[in-house]
Amino acid sequence: MKPEIFRQELAKIGIELSEQQMAQFKTYYELLVEWNQKINLTAITELEEVYLKHFYDSITLATTIDLSATDYSLCDVGAGAGFPSIPLKIVYPNLEVSIVDSLNKRIKFLTLLAEELGLENVHLYHDRAETFGQNKAHREHYDLVTARAVARLNVLSELCLPLVKKGGQFLALKAAKSEEEVVESKKAIAILGGKLGEETEVSLPFSEDKRYIVAIDKKKETPNKYPRKPGTPNKKPLM
């Protein structure tokens, strides 16, 4: 997907990009490729693939919630090279974005990226999601929490739901639909104070690829014991 086609396809779903925003995405791509030679940020580096599978894919989250309506606080857990939060921030400058990642090299890249793109209200934290979720300054603080990760939903829920304020949402971006994964996560979600909401299927343009956005509503406070100590959610997922 060439940049101009990217712009046209977003317009089809009601998202109009300015020249400044197009320039920001161009700079984003250039920095991503440059830094990817130093640290492993992504296996996808070809321009048309990045615009489709990283930029457009990240922005599809906006099809499930009107991000322009409120100045939402959004926390992106394990954002890596900044997906989905930085593309969303470019499109919706009103968002207040916090990113937590366990690798300091990625945080350094994201710090430079935010500066080069002129993004305000982007907060970066070098931490494990398990310890971040026990930090009183961040626990149950965010309107929206996102994760675009390969971990199973019951694991992601333990890492992300403690950060969501009551009445907020955890939005998990998944590359594959798995009824089994959703079913096995229901008990964990309930324990953590959540309730399974809508699952939205999104088709990426010009490909057979589909994405799935699973919304989990935060109904009550997460018990203090969660998230458990680093490594435990992966080793012993809540079932």
Binding residue ranges: 78, 83, 129-130, 148
72-94 confidence digits (pLDDT tens): 999 999 989 999 999 999 999 99
Closest C-alpha among 175, 176, 204, 144 to residue 13: 204
- Alpha helix (H) ranges present in the chain? 3-12, 19-36, 47-50, 57-59, 85-91, 104-117, 129-132, 153-160, 179-191, 232-235
Instruction: Provide the CATH topology of domain 63-235.
Output: Rossmann fold (3.40.50)
3-state secondary structure of 61: helix
169-205 confidence digits (pLDDT tens): 999 999 887 788 899 999 999 999 999 999 999 999 9
| pLDDT surpassing 90 at residue 6 | yes
Residue whose entry in the numeric block shows the structure tokens 């500066």 = 115
Q: Name the DSSP letter for residue 39.
A: S
Q: What are phi and psi of 10, to 5 degrees?
A: -65, -35
Which is it for the CA torsion 182, 74, 229, 173, positive or negative?
Answer: positive
115-133 confidence digits (pLDDT tens): 999 999 999 999 999 999 9
Distance CA 55, CA 32 (A): 12
Binding residue ranges for S-adenosyl-L-methionine: 78, 83, 129-130, 148
Q: Name the DSSP letter for residue 50.
A: H
Distance CA 109, CA 2 (A): 24
| pLDDT surpassing 90 at residue 239 | no
Residue 11's pLDDT band (cuts 50, 70, 90): very high
pLDDT at 104: 95
pLDDT at 177: 78
Closest C-alpha among 110, 163, 121, 113 to residue 139: 163
3-state secondary structure of 113: helix
Closest C-alpha among 208, 215, 158 to residue 187: 158
pLDDT at 150: 72
122-179 confidence digits (pLDDT tens): 999 999 999 999 999 999 999 999 999 778 999 999 999 999 999 999 999 998 877 8
Burial of residue 14 (number of CB atoms within 10 Å: 0-12, 13-18, 19+): exposed
| pLDDT surpassing 90 at residue 50 | yes
pLDDT at 1: 94
pTM, full prediction: 0.95
Note whether 184 and 156 are within 8 A (CB): no
Average pLDDT over residues 30-58: 96
pLDDT at 47: 98
Per domain, the residue ranges of the chain are 63-235
